[in-house]
Amino acid sequence: MKYDGHVHSLFCPHGSPDLFEEYIGKAIELGIEEISFTEHAPLPDGFFDPTPEKDSGMDSDQLHAYIEQLHSLKTSYRSQIKINIGLEVDFIEGFEAQTKKFLDETGPLLDDSILSVHFIKEKDKWHCLDFSAEMFGEISRQIGSVEAVHERYYSTVKKSIHADLGDYKPVRIGHITLVHKFQKQFPISISFDERVIVLLDDIHRKNYALDYNGAGATKPLCGEPYPPERFIRHAVQLGIPLVYGSDAHQAKDLGQGYESLRHTHLLTSPMQNVYNNKS
């Protein structure tokens, strides 16, 4: 693989203490020519992180150190690998204004970014979709059914695609079928495929790109990349740029799930259409 557009780091509070240099060394070893570090952006003020350790996003007081360290690594490794400074930004329903403000301030400092949905809103509560199978089961009970969780997830992804998050809104949509993470334990009785197809049509119309995320393929209860082949086929027909993402949270996970991907000859650099929404 030539590119990895979705990599976490020691700045991730639920990640590993592996140093940037360990990720970069491993990437060079794998023959990767370009890597985007896309740490979870700090969560908006006032948002109550529903995970037990409240560790879904980076501490906001670490953001500048994260960017600074990547800046110097970018220079020191320049002859060996292209390093992009990025963030994985959460779309959280109800926090659009704060997210836009954050992107207005931080976007100019970044090379790359991903927009992801990890939280779904139900009444006045937010739930974290991908924390654990136990939590997924609990959310299904609270919202009413597994199907209702899928419904809520896809409607939130739709809002994320259409949200006005300003000039620095990420143009790559993260792991668009993350709701499949525990699908073997929580199967659905109706198909949501048409919903995903419509999301891909929306992504195409917006000129956005897709995070073709290998992590799902390594999760025993998921067993497929985000998204699986039937959706990638549609994305390919539409010409949506596909950017491989390992979603590694430790250096040894770089490249994970890559062997399960199809159409790998079409994978592009994360920078291909970044910020194409800027005028």
Asked if 116 is part of the footprint of Zn ion (rule: CB under 5 A), the reply reads yes
Burial class of residue 278 (count of CB atoms within 10 Å of its CB; 0-12, 13-18, 19+): exposed
In the bound complex, what is the minimum distance in angstroms from residue 12's beta carbon to Zn ion?
5
Q: Least distance from C-beta 262 to Zn ion, angstroms?
A: 21
Residue 15 tokens read as 């990640």
- Phi/psi for 82 (5° steps) reads -90, 125
Q: What is the distance between the alpha carbons of residues 87 and 113, in angstroms, rounded to a whole number?
A: 5
Q: Is 36 in the site for Zn ion (CB under 5 A)?
A: no
Q: E-strand spans in the chain? A: 3-7, 34-40, 82-90, 112-116, 119-122, 125-128, 172-173, 209-213, 242-245
Cβ proximity to Zn ion: between 152 and 181 the closer is: 181
Distance between CA atoms of residues 196 and 175, nearest Å: 12
Residue type, 176: I
CA distance 136 to 219: 15
CB 137 within 8 A of CB 248: no
Nearer to Zn ion, 77 or 154 (CB): 154
Interface stretch with Zn ion, choices 67-75, 116-124, 160-168, 255-263 (CB under 5 A): 116-124
Distance of closest approach, residue 128 Cβ to Zn ion, in angstroms: 11
Closest contact distance (angstroms) between CB of 159 and Zn ion is: 17
Nearer to Zn ion, 116 or 140 (CB): 116
Q: Which is nearer to Zn ion, 116 or 160 (CB)?
A: 116
Residue with smaller CB distance to Zn ion, 213 or 269: 213
Question: Nearest distance from residue 90's CB to Zn ion, in Å?
Answer: 8
Stretch that binds Zn ion, among 102-110, 114-122, 150-158, 220-228 (CB under 5 A): 114-122
Smallest gap from Cβ 212 to Zn ion, in A, equals 13
Query: 156: which residues sit within 8 A by CB, 6+ positions away?
Result: 91, 93, 117, 119, 120, 121
Question: Given the rule CB under 5 A, which of 23-31, 110-118, 133-141, 187-195 is the region that contacts Zn ion?
Answer: 110-118
The site for Zn ion (CB under 5 A) is made up of 116
